[in-house]
Amino acid sequence: MEITIHRPGELTPELRGAWHRAMDESPEYANPFLAPEFAIGVGRYRAGARVAVLREGGEPAGFFPYERGPFGTGRAIGLGLSDCQALVHRPGVTWNAEELLRACGLSIFEFDHLVQEQRPFAPHVTGTFASPVIDVKPGDGGYPEWLRGTYPGLAKTTLKKERRLGRDVGEVRFVFDERDPEILRTLMRWKSAQYRRTGRMDRFARPWIVALVDHLFRLHEEHFTGVLSVLYAGDRPVAAHFGPRSSTVLAAWFTAYDPELHYYSPGLMMHLRTAEAAARAGVTLVDLGRGDKEYKDWLKTRELRVAEGFAARAHPMALAQRLWRRPVRGLRNTVLAHPGLRDPADHLLRTVGRLRVQGAPAAARKNRLPDG
């Protein structure tokens, strides 16, 4: 096995084509977060982004995107943003994790959404988690018929709320692939405000993440598209979702709604409308991503399994990284896995978030992205 290292932006059309073929030949690698376009996008804003290309008989057979940090520490590309991670390869290709890390100059490689089929990384997994998905297919008739047939328990309440929203605010309409960048900015403001209200890290306070989302939104290619979906009431955007899609998989990424209209359950409406429209656009799977959320339990048809852990070579830096990062991840997972711990922690975060928002100086609030 020959392994060469490249910056994502240096990948030739031939290598990108081979990467796409490897995705097409293995359904477990069809997720858009595993596409070269995502790696190239991250590489525009993260200096340590790299791709290892594995060759058999001189032909490209596998692609391993990652980020390299100081002292050979490595992480899955877009760690913290990516909901699917893997070494994408052709069926039948075998590889060795330690040899891969050595070729990449890594002492350790951290992952948190690794697809279960990555057997060479199996000895380094510290935990596996459910990642709910929706298997979708086009329905007969329009959205109401699809909703009643697919989610009979939710249909009556959801359609009733949509009719009420139409009466109170304006006629409800849905756009699956909205190309207006101003609506994307609205979504980011809503999501950023939601992060702050709930005490979470505000991803959109990081300029590189805003720039990456803007970049992916502009991609509209055969194998990768940034899809912005919007629910309108009249001319007013009520809820929106942005996520990448491959030929067959749409990744649920950022969903938010106008908080003034929360009593209409616009977030749930958004997920349902998106799933139905995605099926009509050729998507067969909507990946909701790892995490315990009530709406995911309502919508999922099954679950995939993803893993987190630390693949490492015998190296002092690998030991130090594991000792530092593993307890943090372990504590977080323990809290999330137990409602008796998770619910009080969530309440505390929301309280801190409210106090933080209320205590922010008016000028500072005005100048930040979320409050436009």
What is the per-residue pLDDT across 98-129, written as a single tens digit (0 to 9) for each?
Answer: 999 999 999 999 999 999 889 999 999 999 99
DSSP strand E in 39-193: where? 49-56, 59-68, 73-76, 88-89, 108-115, 125-135, 172-175
- 237: part of which helix (H) or strand (E)? strand 236-245
81: CB partners within 8 A, 6+ apart = 203, 209, 212
pLDDT of residue 353: 45
Report the C-alpha gap between 263 and 189 in whole angstroms. Answer: 19
Nearest to 277 by CA among 151, 132, 139, 155: 139
Which segments of the chain belong to CATH 3.40.630.30?
137-283
pLDDT of residue 140: 74
- 364: part of which helix (H) or strand (E)? helix 362-367
Report the C-alpha gap between 122 and 118 in whole angstroms. Answer: 7
CATH assignment, 137-283:
3.40.630.30
pLDDT of residue 366: 39
Report the C-alpha gap between 35 and 38 in whole angstroms. Answer: 6
- 180: part of which helix (H) or strand (E)? none
List, in sequence order, every residue forming a beta bridge with 243; answer none if it has no partner: 227
- Are 99 and 120 within 8 A, CB to CB? no
Report the C-alpha gap between 180 and 191 in whole angstroms. Answer: 17
CATH top-level class for 2-130+305-344?
Answer: alpha beta
What is the helix, strand, coil percentage profile of the chain, to 5? 50, 25, 25
245-278 b/e (C-beta count within 10 Å ≥ 16 → b): bbbebbbbbbbbbbeebeebbbbbbbbbbbbbbb
Q: How buried is 45 (Cβ within 10 angstroms: 0-12 exposed, 13-18 middle, 19+ buried)?
A: middle
Report the C-alpha gap between 66 and 46 in whole angstroms. Answer: 10
335: CB partners within 8 A, 6+ apart = 341, 342, 345
Provide, rounded to the nearest whole percent, the portion of the chain with pLDDT above 90: 79
- Cα distance between the two ends of the chain: 52
What is the per-residue pLDDT across 17-76, written as a single tens digit (0 to 9) for each?
Answer: 999 999 999 999 999 999 999 999 999 999 999 999 999 999 999 999 999 999 899 999
pLDDT (tens digit, 0 to 9) for every residue of the chain, 372 residues total?
899 999 999 999 999 999 999 999 999 999 999 999 999 999 999 999 999 999 999 999 999 999 999 989 999 999 999 999 999 999 999 999 999 999 999 999 999 999 988 999 999 999 999 999 999 988 778 999 999 999 999 999 999 999 999 999 999 999 999 999 999 999 999 999 999 998 889 999 999 999 999 999 999 999 999 999 999 999 999 999 999 999 999 999 999 999 999 999 999 999 999 999 999 999 999 999 998 899 999 999 999 999 999 998 876 555 555 555 554 554 444 444 545 534 553 444 444 444 544 554 443 333 333 322
349: CB partners within 8 A, 6+ apart = 198, 199, 200
Report the C-alpha gap between 274 and 277 in whole angstroms. Answer: 5
Report the C-alpha gap between 65 and 49 in whole angstroms. Answer: 7
pLDDT of residue 347: 44
Answer positive or negative: Cα dihedral of 191, 197, 200, 204. positive
